[in-house]
Amino acid sequence: MAESYPLLEARGIGKAFLGIAALDGVDFTLGRGEIHALLGENGAGKSTLIKILTGVYSRDRGTLQLDGAEVTPASVADAQKLGIGTVYQEVNLLENLTVAENLYLGRQPTRFGMIDRREMRRRSKALLTRYGLDIDVDALLSSYSVAIRQIIAIARAVDLSGKVLVLDEPTASLDSHEVETLFTVLRRLREDGLGIVIITHFLNQVYAVADRVTVLRNGRLVGTRDLANLPRLELISMMLGRELQHMTRERQPGDETITTTGEAPIRFEGYGKRGSVAPFDLAVRPGEVVGIAGLLGSGRSETAFLMFGIDRADSGTATIDGKPASLSSPESAIGHGFGFCPEERKTDGIIGDFSVADNIALALQASRGWAKPISSREKQALAESFIKSLDIRPASTEKPIKLLSGGNQQKAILARWLATEPRLLILDEPTRGIDIGAHAEILKMIERLCAEGMSLVVISSELDELTAVAHRVIVLSDRRHVAELVGKQVTTDNILQAIASRTEAA
């Protein structure tokens, strides 16, 4: 009785990279004719789970059953043969080939050993007609929009696999009309009995199309629920990891005075960029920690990119010490005394093969200009002082930084900016992927820095982290600043409420 089994059942899936657990005992069940959303913040383990299901990674632990039979997909091709097809966000098809070639790559109809182009064309036409697409299958894929490519990719994956369809952020670059077209296709496939897994960070779309949701957090399963009776607020708190409880931060006396008195020397007014973040007002005072909260894709990092000049604002003004300031590039932002620790430490932060000392000296060198090189003795002294004060381990200035642990890399990057003595430091997910000890140290450091009069902007998806350090929290949703919580208002409850009320209204 095959029908008594769920279509796909994963039990206790575990996977570690270099000793760090990316997935820890995760269960996941997918039924026939079900659209199942997989949610979680960055680093929650969504993509690791997907890659294990689709044969990109092999699992360390756990079992995976398809139609009641144990399977271990060894490669993408293997998973396809088993019946599990995947459509990735961007890189899924080949732009240099025609639509028909893309649909039948690797399984072209042949006649006498030759590819039968006419047959391939005919089948492609027939296949796409079922998806409501009537296009020239001999045209290059690059001549079609992302939405059409997405449907072509789905058509290929379903035709190839036919049991399970995995969609990794399929709607990230589609407009609302295109999303609706895509969902119509998905609903039809659901009626055909296909099991569909969809990863997205748009909650509205989750509620619009999915039947059930599984939430992961920090590599662990938070829960699987029916969406029909799951309030948004609860879903969001599952994602951000806080049960609804009244946790208030232990406020030190004097907090309120910092945030209310004094003119803010750094102000952004009506600052925004179309398609990135809606115009916002933000003022930062010396010695203040401003937290930025929101779900993945809500515009958190984009706000930081604007403030640091990585993206150029197309509206609004920035004022520093009462004078209008142009933040057109990171270089000019550094010139105004800004610093930025990006979220993707490995790709955007460290220069892996450079020594710890070189990494620390980088921003200081940049702010001085290349004509005045830092002498190697000065660099050494600088690195040694920060290694001591921030307790970077191993305490070697010459080790390539890629050999350090995540927490120590993060400290070195902090040191890089502290060396320039910034007045405003922006930290994007400063504690992601680092161990608990370093986590606490970095939070302590944030408090010490603001006590010394530095302004900090901290972006984090860990709500208790924000409530612990921030004097003020800006809440973002759908690329818009929707609420500002000050002093006693800064609680996990209030942040969750602010996020939820906004997504409900949208």
Partner 1 sequence: MIHTRNLPFITTLGIFILAYILCVTQYPNMLSTRVIGNLLTDNAFLGIAAVGMTFVILSGGIDLSIGSVIAFTSVFVAVMVGSLGVHPLVAFAAVLAISTIFGSAMGAMIRYLGIPPFVVTLAGMFLARGAAYLISTESVPISHPVIDAIQGFYFRVPGGGRLTALAMLMLIVFLLGAFVAARTRFGANIYAIGGNQQSAELMGVPVGPTTVGIYALSGFLSGLAGIAYTLYTSSGYSLATVGVELDAIAAVVIGGTLLTGGVGLVAGTFIGIMIQGLIQTYIVFDGTLSSWWTKIVIGILLFVFIVLQRGIIWYSDRRLAESRLKEV
In the sheet that 277-284 helps form, which strands lie side by side, from edge to edge?
Answer: 277-284, 266-273, 315-320, 323-325
Verify binding: residue 105, partner 1, rule CB under 8 A.
yes
Q: How far apart are CA 177 and CA 327, in angstroms?
A: 35
Instruction: Considering the complex, state which of residue 79 and residue 438 has its C-beta at the smaller distance from partner 1.
Output: 79
Helix, coil or strand: residue 305: helix
Separation of CA 148 from chain center: 25
Closer to partner 1 by CB, 142 or 248: give it: 142
CB 34 within 8 A of CB 212: yes
The answer to whether 134 contacts partner 1 (rule: CB under 8 A) is no
Least distance in Å: CB of 44 to partner 1?
A: 22
Minimum CB distance to partner 1, residue 193 (Å): 23
**One of 142, 184, 315, 329 touching partner 1 (CB under 8 A):** 142
Binding flag, residue 175, partner 1 (CB under 8 A): yes
Please report whether residue 143 would count as binding partner 1 according to CB under 8 A: yes
**Distance between CA 36 and CA 28 in Å, rounded?**
10
Site for partner 1 contains 108 (CB under 8 A): yes
Neighbours of 227 (CB within 10 A): 18
Closest distance to partner 1 from the beta carbon of 155 (Å):
13
> Is residue 253 part of the contact set for partner 1 (CB under 8 A)?
no
Is residue 115 involved in binding partner 1 (CB under 8 A)?
yes
For partner 1 (CB under 8 A), the number of binding residues is 31
> The tokens of 3 are what?
């029908």
Min separation Cβ 75 and partner 1, Å: 8
CB neighbours of residue 329 within 10 Å: 13
Contact call for residue 80 and partner 1 (CB under 8 A): yes
Pairwise CA distance, residues 148 & 381, whole Å: 57
Rounded Cα gap, residues 310 and 485, in angstroms: 27
Is residue 74 within the footprint of partner 1 (CB under 8 A)? no
Q: How far is the CB of 352 from partner 1 (least distance, A)?
A: 17
Contact call for residue 94 and partner 1 (CB under 8 A): yes
Packed helices 117-129 and 146-160: angle between N→C axes, nearest 10 degrees: 100
Q: Per rule CB under 8 A, is residue 96 in the interface with partner 1?
A: yes
Which of 12, 42, 61, 76 is in the footprint of partner 1 by CB under 8 A?
A: 76
Q: Does 252 bind partner 1 (CB under 8 A)?
A: no
- Of the pair 142, 385, the CB lying nearest partner 1 is at 142
Closest CB 189 distance from partner 1, rounded Å: 20
Exposure class string for 170-207: b at 16+ Cβ within 10 A, else e:
bbeebeeebbebbbebbeebbeeebbbbbbbbbbebbb
322 touches partner 1 by CB under 8 A? no
DSSP conformation letters of 334-367: HHTTEEEE-S-IIIII--TTSBHHHHHHHHHHHH
In the complex with partner 1, the residue whose CB is nearer, 4 or 96, is 96
Q: What distance in Å separates the CA atoms of residue 410 and residue 391, rounded to the nearest whole number? A: 12
Instruction: Determine the Cα–Cα distance for residues 155 and 153; give it in Å rounded to an integer.
Output: 5
- In the bound complex, what is the minimum distance in angstroms from residue 142's beta carbon to partner 1? 7
Q: Is 92 in the site for partner 1 (CB under 8 A)?
A: yes
Q: Which residues bind partner 1 (CB under 8 A)?
A: 75-77, 80, 86, 88, 91-97, 101, 105-106, 108, 110, 113-115, 117, 138-140, 142-143, 145, 156, 160, 175
